Structure 1
Amino acid sequence: MNNALTIMVIDDSSTIRRSAEIFLSGAGYRVVLADDGFDALAKLADHRPALVFCDIVMPRLDGYQTCTLIKNSAAFHATPVLMLSSKDGLFDRARGAMAGSAACLAKPFTREGMLAAVRAHATSSPD
C-alpha cells in the first residue's frame, strides 16, 4: 500500500500497543504509538493520523478526555477516534459517543476486527 494511512494507537499497555502495531503495520498502515493521552496530543500535529484508536482506562488523561480534546481541536475534529474498551458495555459506548468517538472496539481485539474498524472509519488523509 503506497501512500499508507497513518493510524495512532493510544494505550497504556505495551502489549496492546505492540499487538495493534503488528496488526496494522502488517496490513500496510503507518503506525504511531502513544502511551497516554498527553503523549498522543503531543504527537498528533507531527503525524496527522487518519484514524485514532484510544484506550478508555489510562492514567493522567483518560480516553474520554483525550477523545474530547482531539474532537475539540480545529485541526483534528474530523479525525475518527475509536475507543478501545476492556468492558464492552453500553455505558462505555454511550460515553464514548458523547465524547465524539466514532465507535468502540472491545479488547482483546482481533486482527480482523481492528482492520475492519479501520476500513469502516478511516478517511483518506487530505495531503
Structure 2
Amino acid sequence: MEVNFSDLKVMVIDDSKTIRRTTETLLAKEGCTVITAIDGFDALAKIADSKPDIIFVDIMMPRLDGYQTCALIKNNSEFKKTPVIMLSSKDGLFDKAKGRIVGSDQYLTKPFSKHELLEAIQTHVTSSPA
C-alpha cells in the first residue's frame, strides 16, 4: 500500500536546527505537514495539539532526552500506537536496545538519507492501524 505523504503529519524533535530544517524541507517537498520541536518538553505540548502520524526524535537532547520523550509518548494511551523513530549519531547496539526498551519503532543513524527517512515513514505509517 502506498503512503499518501500529503496527508501525513510528521513531527521532528531535535535540538539541532540543521537537522530540523533539513528534515522539514525534505518532508515538506513530499507533501507532509511537518511539526518541529527543539526538545522533549517542547514536543509533548505540540504532540497533544497536532496528533502527528509519526514522530522522529533525537536521542541526545537537553532537559528531556529522546529515550525519556519516547517513553512518555508510548506510555500515553492516546499516542502509544504512534510510530516513534529514534535518531542518533551513534550506531551502537546499546543505544538501539535502549530505544527498543522505551518502545521506539525504528532507529536511524545520522546523517540519514532522504530515502531512509521516507522508507521509515512508508514502513511504519502503512503498517500501523488507522
TM-score (norm 2): 0.92
SS of 1:122 mapped into structure 2: helix
> What CA distance in whole angstroms lies between the structure 2 residues aligned with 1:87 and 1:42?
27
Over residues 20-46 of structure 1, what are the superposed CA-to-partner deviations in whole Å (9 max), with x where a residue is unaligned? 101111111110000000000010111
The residue aligned with 2:58 is 55
Structure 2 residues without counterparts, runs of 5 or longer: none
Match of 1:89 among 82, 89, 92: 92
Give how far 1:2 is off.
7.8
Letter in 2 for 1:25: A
Runs of 4+ in structure 1 deviating by more than 2 angstroms, as ranges, are 123-126
SS of 1:17 mapped into structure 2: helix
SS of 2:7 mapped into structure 1: coil
Q: How many residues align?
A: 126
Match of 1:80 among 73, 79, 83: 83
SS of 1:68 mapped into structure 2: helix
Letter in 2 for 1:32: I
The residue aligned with 1:17 is 20
The residue aligned with 1:68 is 71
Give how far 1:3 is off.
5.7
TM-score (norm 1): 0.94
Match of 2:107 among 88, 104, 122: 104
Whether the aligned pair in 1 keeps the contact of 2:10 and 2:54 (CA below 8 Å) is yes
The residue aligned with 1:120 is 123
Cα RMSD over matched residues? 1.5
